Amino acid sequence: MTKWTPRKIYGLAVLMIIMAVLLILLLPGFQSRFTWRWEVFQTYVRGVLNPVGSIPTAVQAAPLQNNTPIAVRPTPTITATHPAATNTAVVIETALPTPTSTPIPERVILISPAYEKQDINNCGPATLAMYLRYYGWEGDQFTISDLIKPIPQDRNVNVEELDHYVRNYAGWLHTIYRVGGDIELLKELIAAGIPVMIEESFTFEESYWPNDDKWAGHYYLLNGYDDQRQSFFGQDSFYGGDRWVEYEKLQIQWQSFNYVYTIVFLPGQEETVRLILGENWDREINRQNALDKARMETEEDPGNVFAWFNLGSNLVYFGEYQDATLAYDRAREIGWPQRMLRYQFSPFMAYFHSLRTEDLMTLVNYALDRTPNSEEALLWKGWGLYRTGNKQEAMDSFLAALEAQPGYEDAIYAINYVNQN
């Protein structure tokens, strides 16, 4: 018979505490919360050691270098990390009204999909998951994020990545995204039985570093509207489902992302979408319209930072890099949000192709101070380093970009380019 001495009882108690702690650590919910709080702590400490300032203003007014052009891939490319799959699903029947000159109803509320609360840095996959559920898809946010952002600390999923997922893993649906949208367009799509996903500004409730402006990007799914309330009805992966947001507020928050909107629809709805979009179905015309809209907004409100930023981004689309940098210079003077370069990367492209390497490096370093694992900022830092002759440092930056986003084609291209030149 074992004699329970105080030392043995103490040892057993310690062992039981250790086992209990280990069991808690293995709980998925605890792991997620612990990871998030640890990430928040690291971010705050980094903000204390390296205080956040305003976006730096331009350090070069015009190109000062005459380097040989580098054949950088012109647009971001997203690569699937697994073979494309063909999904078979039971599709919810949706009415397919044909747009006419008849005014749309004053109020339309489409069926709300099953709500999904976003996990860490996962508003894009969570919102897209709800969107796809509207059409009978049966996955969740992790079905999407495991493919397009397998690293939870990846803080941004752009519209191209979400578009890529639908095309390759929910190919029984069609999808497009466009920019320069407006309130009436959103209402017309909803009235035709088609929800719309937008990207907009978001304000955090807590500060993540001293002097945090709390600005961030966020996706929102709209599946209803009411003219009497002057509001849209939609699904917010952070705050909750079936929420109302005023037309005016949404218009203001939407501008910061060039009024981008994503439409997912059934094959039989393509003609309906074409008719609603009109000439904006054509990508080139759509961008020209967005460019004209941004230019008009800079004239109407010269102090609007997002109008100038959108002007620069639309000019980049057309390869007008010099003019784009001037628009971005003006936006920097006004002061864009601290996290802006976490979500939008056209300034990197504009300054690089305008040979304004010092400005490029200033911006990528500012972006990496806020988001150290931004694969886009690491990529363009690498190109800046390569242009200034730091080949090994450039390669290290490209490799870091590939580590942050496994399968990142632009990083793979850069690595191959440097190895061959």
- Residue with the bigger pLDDT between 81 and 396: it is 396
What average pLDDT does this structure show over 184-199? 98
For residue 180, pLDDT beyond 50: yes
What average pLDDT does this structure show over 369-383? 95
What average pLDDT does this structure show over 281-288? 98
pTM across the whole model: 0.84
Domain definitions of the chain by residue range? 44-64+313-420, 107-281
pLDDT for the residue 95: 44
Lowest mean pLDDT among 100-109, 311-320, 397-406: 100-109
Confidence band for 351, pLDDT divided at 50, 70 and 90 = very high
Lowest mean pLDDT among 26-30, 321-325, 412-416: 26-30
How far the first Cα of the chain sits from its last, in Å, is 77
Lowest mean pLDDT among 18-27, 214-223, 278-287, 393-402: 18-27
Please determine, looking at this structure, whether the domain spanning 107-281 carries the CATH number 3.90.70.10: yes
Question: Cβ-count burial of 331 within 10 angstroms (0-12 exposed, 13-18 middle, 19+ buried)?
Answer: buried
- Residue with the bigger pLDDT between 384 and 153: it is 384
Amino acid identity, residue 328?
A: Y
Q: CA-CA distance, 311 to 320, in Å (whole number)?
A: 11
What average pLDDT does this structure show over 112-131? 95
Across-strand partners of 178? 261
pLDDT for the residue 16: 72
Q: CA-CA distance, 198 to 177, in Å (whole number)?
A: 9
What average pLDDT does this structure show over 387-407? 95
Element (DSSP H or E) covering residue 163: helix 159-169
pLDDT for the residue 120: 85
pLDDT for the residue 60: 59
For residue 145, pLDDT beyond 80: yes
Q: Which two tokens stand for residue 381?
A: 């830092």
For residue 83, pLDDT beyond 50: no
Cα 96 to the center of its chain, rounded Å: 30
Nearest Cα to Cα of residue 338 among 25, 2, 48, 56:
56
Q: Which two tokens stand for residue 276?
A: 């609603």
Q: Answer whether 75's CB lies under 8 Å from 190's CB.
A: no
pLDDT for the residue 94: 42
Interval 52-66: pLDDT, tens? 788 889 885 544 344
Three-state DSSP state, 186:
helix
For residue 69, pLDDT beyond 70: no
Confidence band for 91, pLDDT divided at 50, 70 and 90 = very low
Nearest Cα to Cα of residue 97 among 192, 10, 197, 209:
192
Q: What is the percent of the chain with per-residue pLDDT over 90, rounded to a whole number?
A: 71
Mean pLDDT of the chain: 86
Lowest mean pLDDT among 73-77, 78-82, 359-363: 78-82
- Residue with the bigger pLDDT between 253 and 86: it is 253
Q: CA-CA distance, 269 to 383, in Å (whole number)?
A: 42
pLDDT for the residue 317: 98
The stretches of 202-304 forming alpha helices (DSSP H) are 247-255, 270-277, 283-300
What average pLDDT does this structure show over 258-273? 97
Across-strand partners of 224? 109, 233
pLDDT for the residue 9: 66
Three-state DSSP state, 116:
coil
What average pLDDT does this structure show over 266-283? 97
Output phi, psi for 7, to 5 deg: -65, -40
Which one-letter DSSP state was computed for residue 205?
S
Max mean pLDDT range (12-26, 85-99, 394-408): 394-408
What average pLDDT does this structure show over 148-171? 91
Cα dihedral across residues 273, 167, 416, 154: positive or negative = positive
Class of domain 44-64+313-420: mainly alpha
pLDDT for the residue 88: 34
Q: CA-CA distance, 239 to 138, in Å (whole number)?
A: 22
